[in-house]
Structures are given as structure tokens and as C-alpha cells.
Amino acid sequence: LSGSLAVAMVLRARAADAFVPACLVQMRSFGFKALVRIRERVVLRAINNEAKLKKEGISKYNKRWRSWAQNRVRQYRNATPTVLTSDTALMDGEYLSACVQKAAALRRHDVELWKGYANRTLEIGDDLTETQLGYILWGCGKSQYLDERFYRSLLPVIKNKLESMHSHGLMSVMWMMRRMQIQDREVCQR
């Protein structure tokens, strides 16, 4: 009985829809025209409008974020003229930070080049300003330089300078730690 009752309900629903006028609707996404009932047309229009709204909203949000991030990076771009293959032993903090940032921005992945930058950074780590340290950390994160010894040796220097860092330096520290998957609770809580 329950099966025949269900069939009877479906037949009744079909009979009720048979008297609902149909209209010709062009299906934009499929490129053809079809005869669709009015109720279905409303549902299809709602689905299309929702999809359009989602698409516009997401692209608008992404454009806003991308624009902000690009302007932020441009604002803090180190414009010091550099030669990437210079002798690292002769580099001071400013020149080193400019070289690291330029190498990362140009996506130079020469391991020996990055080892030289890392060793020189550790040598003069205490003499680096907060801004220079931010540039170096951004560059290391951008290039994904994987040397755990370098990061572990640099963490005490970062902790000492954390209180006096500006927003861009702090952003560089957190971004680099996230990108390189370094977890240090003390740095994050400060």
C-alpha cells in the first residue's frame, strides 16, 4: 500500500504541474532553449544569480587583497642598486638586505648564493636594524630557503628585536615562520 500511495502522490503532482503554463527559456550556461515551467524558471534564475554573485564577490575580494598586498610590498621595496653575486664577506646590513630581497623577488634559487647570504646574516645578525631583518626574513621566506640551522640561530636575534619592529617587519617575521613551518610560541605570543 505504501508503494502505491507514493506512486499516486507522484501522479497527482504531475497532473497539477500539467496545468501550470510553461514558457520558453534560454539556458545561458548550456547554450540552448528549452520549454520550462514557471516554477523551474524561477529556481534556475535564482541559481544563476547566486552563482554570478559568488563569482563577482570572490573576484572583487581577491582583487582588493592582491592590490593591497602589492602596494604594501612596493611601499617597502628596497631600491638599493645591487649585484647579486657580490662577495658576501664585504656586505653590510643594508646591502645584504637589498641583495636578499632582490634575489627573492627575481626568484633566484641558487643554493650556494643563499648559503652565502645566510652565513653573512648570522655573522652580522646583531648589527642588523629591524627593517633590514624584515627584508631578509621576507626574502628567505619568499625563496623558501630551507636551512633549519639558519632559522634556529636567527630566532634569538628576532626575539631581541621584536619589540621595536614596525608592522612590516612583524608581518615579514610571521609570514616567513608560516611559510617555512617554523613554530615558536614565544615569538607568536609577543
- 73-127: per-residue pLDDT in tens? 556 667 788 888 889 899 999 999 999 988 988 888 899 999 999 999 999 988 9
Residue found under cell 614565544? 186
Residue 24 pLDDT: 52
On the CB side of 28, how many CA atoms lie within 13 Å of its CA?
8
Do 172 and 132 meet the contact criterion of CB atoms below 8 Å apart? no
Q: For the segment 29-59, what is each residue's pLDDT rounded down to a tens digit?
A: 555 566 667 777 777 777 777 777 777 766 6
Share of the chain above pLDDT 90, in %: 15
Residue 2 pLDDT: 41
Listed in sequence order, the DSSP H helices in 19-81 are 38-75
Cα 102 from Cα 114, distance rounded (Å): 12
For helices 148-161 and 130-143, the axis angle rounded to 10 degrees is: 150
